[in-house]
Amino acid sequence: MARVELPGFSGPVLRAHRKADGAAFAGKNVFAFAGIGRPEKFTASLQESGAHIAGSCFFADHHPYAEEEIAQLKALAADAILVTTEKDFVRLTTRAARGDQGC
């Protein structure tokens, strides 16, 4: 593993890899959505857990969700389970104005 240099910091740097809970989505149709930098890692994690990706919609990193977008995501998902990251989950109630990017 390459050494990480952080000016002014002398503590350890830890790296972690998160995976979806396989028991939660195994064999189920899911619709993935998130505002993250590398959405392909999120969908790969879901697939590795045994989920069937019925569709997906990704936004720019740190995207503030609007109510209209959530309604659109629900419609796109149809009977699939909507799945997002924990990082995005906490922003679902944010009332921030949305950009012009939709699914």
Q: What is the pLDDT of residues 54-84, one digit of tens each?
A: 999 999 998 988 888 988 999 999 999 999 9
Answer yes or no: are the C-beta atoms of 73 and 33 closer than 8 Å.
yes
Q: What is the pLDDT of residues 3-43, one digit of tens each?
A: 556 666 666 666 656 665 657 889 999 999 999 999 999 99
* Domain presence at residue 69: yes
pLDDT of residue 95: 46
- Maximal CA-CA distance, the chain: 50
Answer yes or no: are the C-beta atoms of 49 and 25 closer than 8 Å.
yes
Q: How many structural domains does the chain have?
A: 1
* Domain presence at residue 70: yes
Domain range for residue 42? 34-81
pLDDT of residue 62: 87
* Domain presence at residue 1: no
* Domain presence at residue 20: no
* Domain presence at residue 47: yes
Strand 29-34 vs strand 81-83: parallel, antiparallel, or unpaired?
parallel
* Domain presence at residue 18: no
- The pTM for the full model equals 0.71
* Domain presence at residue 19: no
Residue 6 carries which DSSP code? -
Residue 100 confidence (pLDDT) above 50: no
Residue 96 confidence (pLDDT) above 50: no
* Domain presence at residue 17: no
